[in-house]
Amino acid sequence: MSAPAAGSQRPTRANCQVMVNLQCSVLILTTHLKRKCQCRPEDCIDLLDETGTLMNLSKVENPASEYSSKYLREREHYILIRVIRDKNSEATSYESLLEDLEKHYPDLTDRLQQLSAKTQRRDQWRKGTSQRKAQPHISTQLRNKTTSKKKRGSEFKTPK
């Protein structure tokens, strides 16, 4: 696994590789990676495989009891990333902790941006649907009847 670099608050071990045993819980694995790569304990981290697939370890419901081997494959390389969740929305952005990601994996820089943009678009869509739900609902038939009555009334005005 390749690990941290630019952007973190603490000094990190840039471009280090760590071999891990996948027969442990997700919680133990992520705690170990944070310590080895000198991330802060409160940082939310995840892994990205070499094809750009997010492993979603940060979304595992019960990381203390789920085995890492359920999510990761043996003898594979993964890139450590920081998951940054916006407190005011459900938008999430991803930041590589591998120094010079574009040099080692040129396609993954774009992939991280796509993943970040995807969650922001999803959040905007959800906000839009909740706003639409908050508006009073008028059926199409009722709206059409109201409109046609107005038209009839304005078309057939009678002089006084």
> How does pLDDT run across 8-22, given as a tens digit for each residue?
344 455 567 889 999
> In the chain, what are the domain boundaries?
26-135
Residue 137: DSSP 8-state = P
Residue whose token pair is 């993943």: 115
Which pLDDT value is given to residue 17?
84
Which pLDDT value is given to residue 73?
96
pTM exceeding the 0.75 threshold for the entire prediction: no
Q: State the Cα angle at 59 between 61 and 3, rounded to 5°.
A: 130
Tell me which of 31-35, 60-64, 101-105, 117-121 is least confident.
Answer: 117-121
Nearest to 5 by CA among 105, 94, 101: 101
Residue 67: DSSP 8-state = B
- Helix, strand, coil share of the chain (percent; to 5): 40, 15, 45
What confidence category does residue 89 fall into, taking pLDDT thresholds of 50, 70 and 90?
A: confident
Distance between alpha carbon 95 and the CA centroid of its chain, in Å? Answer: 11
Q: What is the pLDDT of residues 26-81, one digit of tens each?
A: 999 999 999 998 899 999 999 999 999 999 999 999 999 999 999 999 999 999 99
